[in-house]
Structure 1
């Protein structure tokens, strides 16, 4: 009898240890001290602005918007790609009007050719259909013209996307399992089943495997270094990119004390990464139909390269001003914060 109690106690101890470790890894024991470097104002009309990217020279932003709470409630509303000019009185302009009633955009990436031609790649999650990538070109009137839909079995759980020219791109699979029990286990057991996939214009191929929720992806201004975040793994990877084959060779890994999301670059080449300091708060926020359970929002700026990279916390909110920010895009003194679920994008003026 004593042996049975000892075994049961040992098992309970192991389970308790795993639970405490999981909670700690999720950041739930952190004490947050909110701060902001400038004034911010909410911008309505683009719910769930999960990804935002600036045109590199013209100062306006493309915004990927989707009302995920409406979809979760069983009444999906078509999402859209908007053009927004920060600091102006011009309302956001919907660029995908008439494209599809089953359009649920996620990650986006803009490629601007030397002649100024713009190509926008968009991860799309059609309701009840397979995941796909949409390729748009920007017309003379600024509206998006759909050019192609790309599908492949490797589009398991696409999140972010990175265009390297008008035809080729990378994308992240944040999970290796489709929605269901196995995906939940993948998250809570912190299994490295995510990946990065490269499309060379003809075929898809995995170039990175074994990641714990591969999320944001972007490239340095010279095109030689690809950056990747692991949300559950709390890592920022730097890879050397072979432009001929698309192969990625790891150069450096930076451990973070937070869960990073999307990556944007400013004119100086610094990385701006939105992050989730408390992942369980994010889960509560995501599963609350009314969004009353709030999740903190964090923005980090990374300057330098490799082991010399320096990190500065630019913004931290406890969920009162905005919640669960997935993207921080910067152009000059404007910083746009895109939330995964909230109704309003945040337009901030940096000092």
Structure 2
């Protein structure tokens, strides 16, 4: 009996050790730990006024860019400022584009403003511009809807919070109060969250919101991050950051999403931007996520910008457009192109203005 008990204990210890060993290796694979950093530089300069990250950037057809800055206390990501976040606007048609802080009016609590993913919707009937911002006050998830007025003012219209919008990372607006949003995790507690990651449980999703209904639009995602829409509004692109791929969905009547395909990108891609002229998909990516969670200024997290041409075709082309080991730019999250120019944002570092020509 004693021998049997010892055998069972030894087997249990071996099983636990094997699981933890598997878990360690799985997290290493998901994070692309120790991956060799590709290096490819562009002619760039730092944008003034951006010192603590521009997590998301989006650009209108007329060259007006919006930037969300100052994301902090989100998941386990580094942050170096606890000041409230800010929104900026930048005119790419200006000879020397400079970010200008947007003044926010209305009832929003600015002391806890913590902006993340953003999207813009232009009402073609009257050219009014609506800015949608994912906000994490007190580590919650909600979406703020603003109207852009004048040259430097946002008027807060509405706060959207819903149980299905559990851990919102990014959004794409499809109407003045309508959007798709990604959830980047399915649990708030560390242990069940880690188990879902280790076992590759694709339990994250895309949620469709309108004033009339809120529902899951697509599932089967390990960790939904960036989301955007094709220029013809027919396809929705979602970065599944832990699967190292971009998922393509077709947008059908009734705002239904049907899965079409996935495009491997070989890195951990964050936000998704789309060139309004060519339809090319641009992604800000993390070449090695372990360097983000274990931040070391002597060995900083790098930056990687990926472009996908012909993403819906049978032969999409994935190319590296910018790569750095973290000594020029740390933790890239977004790459927004505009007619030969490129804006690159980060979680907590600076932002670049680059020339693609």
Please, what TM-score do these two structures have when normalized by structure 1?
A: 0.88
Alignment of 1:69-88 (within 5 A): 76-86=82-92, 88=95
Alpha-carbon distance change, 315 to 225 in structure 1, aligned in 2, over 3 angstroms: same
**Which of 44, 47, 66 is the aligned partner of 1:40?**
44
Instruction: Give the Cα separation in 1 of the matches to 2:263 and 2:179.
Output: 24
Aligned to 1:122: 133
The worse-fitting range, judged by mean Cα deviation, of 66-75 and 167-176 is 66-75
Number of corresponding residues = 342
Aligned to 1:347: 353
Instruction: Give the Cα separation in 2 of the matches to 1:7 and 1:177.
Output: 27
Alignment of 1:297-312 (within 5 A): 297-304=303-310, 305-312=312-319
The worse-fitting range, judged by mean Cα deviation, of 84-93 and 252-261 is 84-93
Q: CA RMSD in A?
A: 2.6
**Which of 60, 64, 67 is the aligned partner of 1:63?**
67
Contact 1:275 1:298 in 2 (8 A): yes
The worse-fitting range, judged by mean Cα deviation, of 19-28 and 118-127 is 19-28
Alpha-carbon distance change, 188 to 319 in structure 1, aligned in 2, over 3 angstroms: farther
**Which of 250, 271, 274 is the aligned partner of 1:265?**
274
**Which of 42, 45, 51 is the aligned partner of 2:56?**
51
1:252-285 CA-to-partner distances (Å, cap 9, x unmatched) read 1122311111110112110001111212122223
Unaligned runs of 5+ in 1: none
Alpha-carbon distance change, 24 to 83 in structure 1, aligned in 2, over 3 angstroms: same
Alpha-carbon distance change, 188 to 165 in structure 1, aligned in 2, over 3 angstroms: same
Instruction: Give the Cα separation in 2 of the matches to 1:24 and 1:310.
Output: 24
SS of equivalent to 1:45: coil
Contact 1:252 1:306 in 2 (8 A): no
Instruction: Give the Cα separation in 2 of the matches to 1:68 and 1:25.
Output: 23
Instruction: Give the Cα separation in 2 of the matches to 1:73 and 1:166.
Output: 32
Aligned to 2:101: 94
**Which of 209, 220, 235 is the aligned partner of 1:225?**
235
Aligned to 2:259: 250
CA shift for structure 1 position 18: 4.1
SS of equivalent to 2:255: coil
Instruction: Give the Cα separation in 2 of the matches to 1:255 and 1:73.
Output: 29
Alpha-carbon distance change, 79 to 17 in structure 1, aligned in 2, over 3 angstroms: closer
Question: Does residue 1:147 correspond to 2:163, yes or no?
Answer: no
Alpha-carbon distance change, 10 to 241 in structure 1, aligned in 2, over 3 angstroms: same
Instruction: Give the Cα separation in 2 of the matches to 1:146 and 1:9.
Output: 57
Please, what TM-score do these two structures have when normalized by structure 2?
A: 0.87
1:37-87 CA-to-partner distances (Å, cap 9, x unmatched) read x2111123232210000112x212100111527998897311111002347
SS of equivalent to 1:19: helix
Contact 2:30 2:243 in 1 (8 A): no
Question: Does residue 1:333 correspond to 2:337, yes or no?
Answer: no
Alpha-carbon distance change, 339 to 73 in structure 1, aligned in 2, over 3 angstroms: closer
Contact 2:84 2:112 in 1 (8 A): yes
